[in-house]
Amino acid sequence: MKEESISNRQLLFLVLLMQIGSRILSLPYMEAKYAGIYGWMAALIGGIASQLSIMLIWNLGKRYPNQHIFQYVYTLAGKPIGSVLTFLYAIYFSYSALIVALLYIEKLSRWVLPKTPWWVLLLLIFIASGYAAMSSLRLQSFISLSLAPILIAGYLTIVVSGLREADIRNILPIGHSGGSSFANGVFQGYTAGFGYDLLLYAFPFVKSQSSRKLLGAITWANGLTTLIYVTVVLICALNFTPDQMSNIPEPTVFILKQLKWDVVQSIDMLFIALWFSILAATVYVYLFLAAKAVCHIGAVHKEKHVLWVWICTGICFAIGCWIPEENVINAVSGKPYEIMSVVCIVFIPLLLLLIPKVSRLRGRNI
């Protein structure tokens, strides 16, 4: 328990790095596609929706402050259903690790290392992530904290680059969005903020003076993530017309190309390469959670965490080697992943939260 304990600040940076992931490169394009010039607003509302999901998970954890989801799921649903749900979470967390890795490697391969074999890039990120996932939650939080300067530097670089050529006329006229569906834009902003699902496991390990301070820490993480996304989406909208945005899948990269520095030949390629560490931080936490879920299948905690980390890592790597095409990656990271994420982050926690209340109502009616 002591090895897993983390502070509120460590939780903040763990969740922050998990939420950012690879979507900072592609979210502006998706928001422009669906919400047009109001993509920044859709990203903001998506962040607010994420906060509602955080409140749901926080309320569930507050009810069982000394247990994580792989423990209280058996108390609420029984061993058979609990085992099925735990296995579902193991698949979900492994799936998340795979999707985050694939989305980043596809961009790294296309922009920076086009001649490097796909499997080599996958192997690099999964070896690094698998090694980190063997460690405790506390050690992972120290790693995430040490990576925060890269995140801050990357964000400031995008802001400085984007403001140089910003033109407010690109988001005019007010009242005409140009997008196909504002609601879909909000949903894109909502899914971009996934990562706070770590709280399902981490809640009892956060050493906080009160559950409200814990909520405050993860709210700060979500607020900073929302601020970063809204800023980046708005800057991209100020630099490109709606027609241009519809043809640029990664507008953030083109904005970084505007910044010239004699010391570094290409800021955009440096950014994508350094972002490897941020992506690895997301992947290794998901692999860690997947292994923890497998270890708790059957209501008995089996001390084989390291073994299952490498099994989950190996499975993700093997699957990733079979889907190097961009259209296949977009397919597996689209609706199937979004549906599974909503089920595991919203519907299952909501059901677990309602089960005791439904049981009490049934007891009163008998």
List, in order, residues 6 or more apart from 203 with CB less than 8 Å away.
57, 58, 61, 62, 65, 68, 214
Assigned token pair, 22 = 């690879």
List, in order, residues 6 or more apart from 362 with CB less than 8 Å away.
none
pLDDT per residue as tens, the chain (366 positions): 555 789 999 999 999 999 987 688 889 998 988 988 889 999 999 999 999 999 999 999 999 989 999 999 999 988 899 999 999 999 999 999 999 999 888 888 888 888 889 899 999 999 999 999 999 999 999 999 999 999 998 899 889 888 888 888 877 766 555 556 889 999 999 999 999 999 999 999 998 778 899 999 999 999 999 999 999 999 999 998 888 887 888 888 888 887 777 666 677 777 888 888 888 999 999 999 999 999 999 766 667 899 999 999 999 999 998 876 666 677 677 788 999 999 999 999 999 999 887 766 655 554
Q: Are 187 and 31 in contact (CB under 8 A)?
A: no
Domains of the chain: 8-365 (1.20.1740.10)
Place of tokens 């009616």: 365
Calculate helix-pair angle for 267-295, 8-20, nearest 10 degrees.
120
List, in order, residues 6 or more apart from 360 with CB less than 8 Å away.
none
